[in-house]
Structure 1
Amino acid sequence: MTTLRKPLALAAVSALALSTLVSAPAAGTTTPTDVALEWYHVTAETIAAAGAPTQVTNNRTWAIGWIAATRALLRSPAAPTPYQEAAVATAVHETLVTLAPARKTELDQALTATLARIPDGSAETAGVAAGRQQAQAILASRADDGLDPASVNAPFTPPSAAAGVWQPTPPTYSPATQYGNRLAKPFLLDSADQFRPGPPPALGSPQYNRDLAEVRADGAVGSTTRTQAQTDTATFWLGSSYVLYTEPLRVALSEAAQRPLAERTKLVALFHVAAVDTQIATSDTKYAYLRWRPITALRTTVDAEWTPLHNTPAHPDYPSGHNTYSGSAEQVLTTLVGARTTKPYTIGSPSAPGVTRTYSNWRQLTVENVDARVWSGIHTRTADTVGVTLGRQVAAHALRNAGKLFG
């Protein structure tokens, strides 16, 4: 069950900071540093400070660094701890310095701190070399993959206005975004349309009418049917999926603390590989069907003044990108870690500063995402539920084909 609280100690902490915090041992303790959590924190902090403006680009950065770390470990599965720790730190460092060069000073300091803990010798030297080599190889293989910000937001000219067809939405009528995702190079998908779902409900069909009626009533800015708790849920999940899921993935990494280091780096890598491929598949479906958003449908056919609780993003309705992301995340975390956590975990949100929610599984995040986009007035429920299914399918494919990444 989800719980809500606004502790005073967190009131001054941003939601973004909450999503990247990694607990440190208490002063005076001798608990060994967990290199996976250490470099998870470094990656999250680096992207928070100097990441790309496009979500999928940041997922790509994570994927490259943590694939490189996993490959370096799997190439020498019997290597001693000094090799393993040096390989992970160096692989992630090399990736981040290349893709977020503005943070080079901080990244160099972090690598120096990690390597200073590791006994000098041939194992450490070999780990550094392996991590750097794998990062450089993957960076080279992903060059010009179409996931840089300019390519992600490649220009798209919508067709002439017609019933059911997406058009830029008020209040800003911004140009379409994320069109270029569908043209990008996936990590493991055979093609962007490999899992493309069937078309959205036909205009005027019973399902279409139910979807639109629900959004009209529950997603309006002045809704009399939406409760305060539902409004809170809509606001909490309005923020970036990347930011909102940074803490759940860290929790999953902690849950797997007793597993081999290569399994843990693989968890992080596959989470972000699936996220990238899911966003590619999402944009493919969105721009294949070009289904209009609820605000356009309602203002055109029902109520010219209808306004959603939250502003509508600048891309088509079907399917919901928030829900493809949540479906993908749930699939990876459930498969690799288990459906439930050993103890409750708490996350914050960039769109609800000071508010936290507590969970004990991954599925509830998906359930809330589905409802939230309807209550925000941003998506139809069908766009949400189809999105979850698409995300799960893409993630399951990534998990089945992980060997192609790691050899």
Structure 2
Amino acid sequence: AAAGVAPDTLARSETYGRALADHIIAWSQDDGGAVVENMGFPYEYQLTDAPGHWVPTSRVAQQQLPLLPDWGRNRPFAMQRMEVCDLPPPPAYSEEPGSAFHAEALEVSTARRDLTPEQTAIARFWSDDPMLSPTPPGHWISIAWQILDRDDAGLAESADVMARLGVGMADAFIGCWRSKFAHDLVRPVTYIRKLIDPKFEPLLITPPFPEYPSGHSTLSGAAATVLTASFGEGFGFEDATHEDDGLPARPFPSFWAAAEEAAISRLYGGIHFRAAVEQGLEQGRCIGAHATALRTRR
């Protein structure tokens, strides 16, 4: 018997596990995200031709339409209705100097101009670009695995943490994308080049979808909420996710300290306004609370 488990118990467990997997796979087929074509870019999509709305920022032909515009309609995992974690609108769009919106854009422009080496390192550490890194959810999964390995956690604890983390981050993306396409906000690079500095260049590549809220922030808020519930407040750790890529490990006194750094990294990178960063964290906190409330053990 495997690890002291009786053969008949092992056989029943395997049968039960396969039945659960079959049920979940069947259930997933109508969740809205079962089929993704063209790497998530729609073949047809009507852009809104009005000030303040998102416009393409990439020269890549495929990215002239936004990524996954319908993802926010997907069925969530831990919530009955995603709208319970909807966000207030961002600052009202304005091109007037002195307005709240112009002030946020000016902050991004000034931050980019005056970036310190530490701020640059933070932006690079949390960039997590698709196809060049573990991606944002992969980064938080890496953090969790590093801790579980360090503490020699058992199978039950590891499964519980990873299930909640995966559910929380999956719902965070759904909620974030729901908000992104509800508000359809212009990116900093578009606004700043038009009204503040025509030579503005973000440190990071601007992603091909609307600005508000920040996906990194929403995801990180959800992950920090789940991991804090799992390991406790003030749980310090070192994140060595990118050591193999030549980026040194970064220490954090808590999961929320890491989440806040991940969030502000997007402003340092020149691709998000402050409202998107701060509200994204709050949306993630709301969504993560639903994942932590799930019953996963008898």
Normalised TM-score (structure 2): 0.85
**In 2 relative to 1, CA 296–185 (structure 1 residues): closer, same or farther, beyond 3 Å?**
same
1:157 aligns with 2:50: no
- 1:262 positional shift: 4.0
- Who is 1:247 aligned against? 142
1:132 aligns with 2:18: yes
- Who is 1:366 aligned against? 259
- 1:195 positional shift: 1.4
1:346 aligns with 2:239: yes
- Who is 1:233 aligned against? 122
- 1:189 positional shift: 2.2
The answer to whether the Cα contact below 8 Å between 2:165 and 2:291 also exists between their aligned partners in 1 is no
Q: Residues 33-61 of structure 1: CA distance to partner in whole angstroms, max 9, x if unpaired?
A: xxxxxxxxxxxxxxxxxxxxxxxxxxxxx
1:194 aligns with 2:84: yes
Distance in 2 (CA, whole Å) between partners of 1:258 and 1:171 is: 46
**In 2 relative to 1, CA 283–212 (structure 1 residues): closer, same or farther, beyond 3 Å?**
same
**In 2 relative to 1, CA 191–312 (structure 1 residues): closer, same or farther, beyond 3 Å?**
same
- Helix, strand or coil: the match of 1:165? coil
Distance in 1 (CA, whole Å) between partners of 2:69 and 2:246 is: 30
- Helix, strand or coil: the match of 1:358? strand
Q: What residue identity is the alignment partner of 1:153?
A: G
- 1:389 positional shift: 0.4
The answer to whether the Cα contact below 8 Å between 2:143 and 2:241 also exists between their aligned partners in 1 is no
Distance in 1 (CA, whole Å) between partners of 2:177 and 2:153 is: 37
Percent of paired sites with the same residue = 26
Instruction: Report runs of 4+ in structure 1 exceeding 4 Å deviation.
Output: 117-120, 254-259
- Helix, strand or coil: the match of 1:367? helix
Distance in 2 (CA, whole Å) between partners of 1:344 and 1:194 is: 32
**In 2 relative to 1, CA 254–348 (structure 1 residues): closer, same or farther, beyond 3 Å?**
closer
- Who is 1:92 aligned against? none
- 1:125 positional shift: 2.0
Q: Residue 272 of structure 2: which of 376, 379, 383 is its match?
A: 379
Q: What residue identity is the alignment partner of 1:381?
A: R
Distance in 1 (CA, whole Å) between partners of 2:182 and 2:244 is: 30
Distance in 2 (CA, whole Å) between partners of 1:308 and 1:141 is: 41
Q: What residue identity is the alignment partner of 1:185?
A: R
- 1:382 positional shift: 1.0
- 1:149 positional shift: 5.6
Q: What residue identity is the alignment partner of 1:184?
A: N
- Who is 1:75 aligned against? none
**In 2 relative to 1, CA 357–256 (structure 1 residues): closer, same or farther, beyond 3 Å?**
closer
The answer to whether the Cα contact below 8 Å between 1:252 and 1:337 also exists between their aligned partners in 2 is no
How many residue pairs get matched? Answer: 285
Distance in 2 (CA, whole Å) between partners of 1:398 and 1:246 is: 15
Normalised TM-score (structure 1): 0.64
Q: Residue 165 of structure 2: which of 261, 271, 295 is its match?
A: 271
Q: Residues 152-171 of structure 1: CA distance to partner in whole angstroms, max 9, x if unpaired?
A: 82626243432211011144
Distance in 2 (CA, whole Å) between partners of 1:333 and 1:317 is: 26
Q: Which structure: larger Rg?
A: 1
- 1:281 positional shift: 0.6
Q: What residue identity is the alignment partner of 2:116?
A: T
- Who is 1:297 aligned against? 191
